[in-house]
Amino acid sequence: MPLRFTGEIWYWRGPSPFHFVTVPEPEATELHDMSRDVSYGWGMIPVTATIGRTTWSTSLFPKDGGYLLPVKDKVRATEHLDVGDTAGVRMEVTTRARPGR
């Protein structure tokens, strides 16, 4: 299921600092509906994400009933993005073999 959305890049300082884009509510609802079938440990959902011309594999973090897309430093540097910039995201849930399935 491909998803497209825009969101602001924001910084979380730690204990492990990282940059994120919050998945908007309509898309988060779609993800939540399928999470039982695709999530692994702590509700993480594996995805392939694209911003601009940069594609990477990662996992969405569940947070406050929604999801956060981690944006690697290399992605931000390649796409010339910083905190506060708006990013257009294309994302697709990937499947991983889950134990016992």
Report the predicted TM-score, pTM, of the whole model to 2 decimal places.
Answer: 0.87
Quick: pLDDT tens for 63-83.
Answer: 999 999 999 999 999 999 999
Q: Please report whether residue 98 resides in a domain.
A: no
Quick: pLDDT tens for 86-99.
Answer: 999 999 999 754 44
Which residue pairs, CB below 8 angstroms and at least 24 apart, start in 17-20? 18/70, 18/71, 19/70, 19/71, 19/72, 19/73, 19/76, 19/83, 20/61, 20/68, 20/69, 20/70, 20/71
Average pLDDT, whole number, for the chain?
89
| Structural domain range at position 25 | 2-93
Q: Please report whether residue 63 resides in a domain.
A: yes
Number of domains forming the structure of the chain = 1
Q: Please report whether residue 38 resides in a domain.
A: yes
